[in-house]
Amino acid sequence: MGVSLPLTAAGTAIVHAIHPWSVFFALLVVFFLTGTAVTRVKHDVKARLTLAASGSSGGEGKRTHIQVFANSLVASVLILLHYRQLLARDKSDNASQGCWPYGDDILVAGIVSNYAAVAADTFSSELGILSRSRPRLLTSWNFREVPPGTNGGITFWGTMAGFLGGLTIALTSLLLLPFCPAGLASRTGKLFGDNQPGLEGGSGWGLREKTVWVIAVTIWGGLGSLLDSALGGWFQASVVDARTGKVIEGTGGKKVSCSQCWKTTLTEPVQVLVAGSHDKKDRNSSRRVESGLGFLDNNA
């Protein structure tokens, strides 16, 4: 990994910090702190639920620059675009004096939604694996049970944890976004008279508009987590140790070596060999592919 992780993290922090609105840097910090917190919840218990590729207990390894990049790339690009938009709008370097009108600047919604989705996914993954009920594969036709840690596997409590993650981002944005208040029609901080609330055709943010915002961001976070689970179930292979029934985790989120694995079919009791291999050595393989095509690793 070398210096890649510190450089990526520093670059991400700088992009967030240069924007005149403090909310985006705060979202990054809240995501990092809450994500770290839920990762540490019963870490020893979670480590025993999966296996590392080396054969030892699993658990979340050290974060890599690829994971940091994947979580913050979309938000970083949108932040730079929004900062450029503010500068063009105000025609000055002092772009921090404007407020955010209701129904304007879709880029802002995109930035907040990005962090709602990645926070929800982190909460869902780290807390859902502790559920007493077995996960069920979201991408299977019969919603079959799978081992904890399987890509695409979801539980009720894991899904609820995802919505909680989205809520933390929604509340952070509620506290720090510069909403244009109802009663003030402003783009640059100047008063132009009465302004109607957004739900009444104006551009102001009243209590109703902010409530809808929090609910929408929370729901989007939870749905984003479910979408991520579905994509993971389709494109990220989950490899299981046939002797213990536990998911094998690759180092740093990388793919697990499985060129001679068995593959679990939609009707779970039946298994076939991957890649059409037929020799005796393959048939005695201790690993099987529980789900996923294996196009992506767990850093995607």
Rounded to the nearest 10 degrees, what angle do helices 106-128 and 23-40 cross at? 10
Cα–Cα distances (Å) from 33 to 28, 51, 138, 249, in that order, read 9, 26, 29, 24
Distance of CA 270 to the CA centre of its chain: 33
Sign of CA dihedral 24, 27, 32, 33: positive
Q: Say what the pLDDT of residue 247 is.
A: 84
Q: Say what the pLDDT of residue 178 is.
A: 94
Q: Assign 64 a pLDDT band (cuts: 50, 70, 90).
A: low
Q: Under a CB-based contact definition with an 8 Å cutoff, are residues 154 and 128 in contact?
A: yes
Q: Under a CB-based contact definition with an 8 Å cutoff, are residues 296 and 236 in contact?
A: yes
Q: Assign 72 a pLDDT band (cuts: 50, 70, 90).
A: confident
Average pLDDT, the chain: 80
Q: How far apart are CA 18 and CA 162, in angstroms?
A: 29
- Please write the tens of the pLDDT for every residue from 96-139: 457 888 988 899 999 999 999 999 999 999 999 999 999 999 99
> 264 phi and psi, to 5 degrees?
-75, 130
Mean pLDDT, residues 60-89: 80
Q: Under a CB-based contact definition with an 8 Å cutoff, are residues 49 and 245 in contact?
A: no
Mean pLDDT, residues 75-88: 92
Of 223 and 67, the structure prediction assigns the larger pLDDT to 223
pLDDT tops 60 at residue 283: no
Q: Under a CB-based contact definition with an 8 Å cutoff, are residues 219 and 117 in contact?
A: no
**Of the candidate ranges 14-18, 28-32, 65-69, the one whose mean pLDDT is the lowest:** 65-69
**Of the candidate ranges 97-101, 168-172, 239-243, the one whose mean pLDDT is the lowest:** 97-101
Q: Assign 279 a pLDDT band (cuts: 50, 70, 90).
A: very low
pTM equals 0.82
